[in-house]
Structure 1
């Protein structure tokens, strides 16, 4: 499979390395080479089976507009752009392209989301108050994280709560720490996921690209990760 990786940050570089380990042909574009999505011309994009994006929210939207318009298959690991999701989904469907996005490509985080839903369902009638805390590296642009937002949505759907409070911190080079707390007058239950490296994200993104390579349409990784 021919893979184009957009972004040469720490996660983007690791995605390229993991894709190569999987036996794929890999080409990487950094921000300077692709300012304003200028490198993503239809002839260039057509040379790849899948595009994987780990850039910035602003760059991702420009990249998606260029790639999806050609009917390309695209995996987006960048977060912070979901206000444009409806537009990107419509573009993918109109051009018979493939778009797979996710707030977190770690299987561990996806399992956490399932457990969070179970916590919400079990505790919603017992007077528990839910809250979320997350910490990421200082260079992460969006706050709260996409994963924290997904976690809040899962708990809100399970409990019927209007909004789950989220505390977000940005410090050092923290890979990603998320915790969900359910507290009552009697006790406290805490569900935690802590990433020790970016490899889980990279592995998930490459597997997602392999899965998407034979499909069209728009998919949330949270809905399809068990198939990937």
Structure 2
């Protein structure tokens, strides 16, 4: 397949390596330096785009590609306040859009484990919290993965109605502490604490390869489909 890369940072480079290993062609590499060439990505030269950019540019990148008739796999975070607009665009263009806050198979299993633990802890004398740690180049906080974890917890925990990006004593909120440390691909710790003990589940990424492979698998899967999809669809979770 011919696959376009929109965003060519560390993640984009890791994705390119896997694309080549799997026999695909990189049709176009879009960075901040050649952003005007985004409009050159069309169905006659690109089967699907993989987009990993910044919160500020993600929506424009996604909507441009969809408007041009090219399906998009996106892993950008921090722009989801405009997700409904993308859904409407996909519907009007009969396009294909795949979004995940995290493309790692292990993380998506962790999402399910997190929801199950929250269900078990509901109504018990434990308070929940989270710490997410990433490399210093990550611009948004909390991470999209942390937000997805918090949303999964809120589905199961009565009285938890929101998350905040700090420690909190508010029983209605889940506190997420964000730490930025050099050369950390991504770590998420979810804890339940009482006066007696603490239960913690963790996911620790050792490299970006798992995220990159998941994005490539999503791109391979998306071609020929219309609608909005997630890792639950790809992995049948």
Between the aligned partners of 1:129 and 1:44, the Cα distance in structure 2 is 48
Aligned match of 2:42: 45
Aligned match of 1:184: 194
Decide whether the 8 Å contact of 2:134 with 2:179 is kept in 1.
yes
CA 1:6/1:59 → structure 2, altered by over 3 Å: closer, same or farther? same
Aligned match of 1:205: 215
Instruction: Number of aligned residue pairs: give it.
Output: 223
Moved over 3 A (4+): none
What per-residue deviation string (whole Å, max 9, x for no partner) do you get for residues 33-90 of structure 1?
A: 11xxx2122x532211100001112221111121111221100011111011000111
Structural RMSD (CA): 1.4
Decide whether the 8 Å contact of 1:70 with 1:95 is kept in 2.
no
Decide whether the 8 Å contact of 2:221 with 2:234 is kept in 1.
no
Decide whether the 8 Å contact of 2:52 with 2:75 is kept in 1.
yes
Between the aligned partners of 1:209 and 1:180, the Cα distance in structure 2 is 30
Aligned match of 1:134: 132
Matched, 1:113 2:111: yes
TM-score between both structures, scaled by the size of structure 1: 0.94
Decide whether the 8 Å contact of 1:71 with 1:92 is kept in 2.
no
What per-residue deviation string (whole Å, max 9, x for no partner) do you get for residues 108-157 of structure 1?
A: 11111111111111111221111010011111111000000000000111
Decide whether the 8 Å contact of 2:192 with 2:199 is kept in 1.
yes
Consecutive unaligned residues in structure 2, runs of 5 or more: 162-172
Q: SS at 2:16's partner residue?
A: helix
Between the aligned partners of 1:98 and 1:67, the Cα distance in structure 2 is 10
